[in-house]
Amino acid sequence: MNAPNTFQTIPGQDDLQQIPRDLSFHPSGTTDPKVLTRAQVEHYNQHGYIKPLDIFTASEADGLRRYFDDLLQKYVAEGKDSYSISSAHLRHGRVWDVLTNPKIVAVVSDLLGPSVVAWGSHFFCKMPKDGKTVSWHQDASYWPLTPSKAVTVWLAIDDADRGNASMKYIPGTQVLGHLTYKLSETDESNILNQTVPEVERYGAPVYVELKAGQASLHSDLLLHGSEVNTSDRRRCGLTLRYTTGDVQAHMGWHEKGVVVSGPPPANWGNRPRPTEE
């Protein structure tokens, strides 16, 4: 039987609650990073994120944006919306290439160590004035993975700034464990379905302003979200997700895996590059 190439973006609450998960922060133990500085590794451990990272040149970023424009047009023509392109590396060779890009893998390996599995790719594309938010949440809360050792590289496809609803983080919240959340209210117009309330008690937000081709990186336990895009400019980011080979994936999520560093772990799949661009 062929491995699946689509997955539910938001697993059911009941399914998640049945999985015993260790949702505690695992700091990076790297003392001798190859591409990051020690200060960046330390910043990740203390604050839960690193930004900005220069990944693609302006002309490479331009090529990627044009690729995404075409891809989005195809999805929209099929009646899908600008947040629907998820697990894209299982269907689109060009996204698989970005997920396995050596420059990005080197950054992630500096934090996670020698065994790294790439397993997620989802475009969060905020169209101008589309009214959608991403409410404050922790990624690990949604994922059937244990222990919580995943990091996200958020690659800017468009320039992202406060004006067009860049992401925002609450620094240091990755060490607080699994925070209490409520299911989001309809009027939040949340792209996901959980909201951590009253986040002011955890500190002030930091806004993740990036040029197209730059990236930020955050822990799966860091509180983050983004507001409504009230501008006339699109704000698209490609989220790329990575974890270590010892992490157990439930609900069949091991089938999303692409081994990008180290020997293939027995508990993960290793998906080849799709032929479709």
Ligand X SMILES: O=C(O)CCC(=O)C(=O)O
Task: Name the site residues for ligand X (rule: CB under 6 A).
Answer: 124, 134, 139, 152, 154, 167, 224, 226, 237, 239
Q: How far is the CB of 131 from ligand X (least distance, A)?
A: 14
Closest distance between ligand X and the C-beta of residue 46, in Å? Answer: 20
Q: Are 193 and 10 within 8 A, CB to CB?
A: yes
How many Cβ atoms sit within 10 Å of the Cβ of residue 277? 13
Shortest Cβ 164–ligand X spacing (Å):
10
> 237 vs 265, which CB is nearer to ligand X?
237
Whether residue 151 contacts residue 218, with contact meaning beta carbons closer than 8 Å, is answered with yes
Nearer to ligand X, 7 or 273 (CB): 7
Residues 6+ apart with CB under 8 A from 74: none
* Residue nearer to ligand X on the CB measure, 167 or 196: 167
In angstroms, what is the minimal distance from the CB of 139 to ligand X?
Answer: 5
How many Å apart are CA 69 and CA 150, to the nearest integer? 28
Q: Which is nearer to ligand X, 96 or 136 (CB)?
A: 136
Is the CB of 52 or the CB of 264 nearer to ligand X? 52
CB of 153 to ligand X, least distance (A): 9
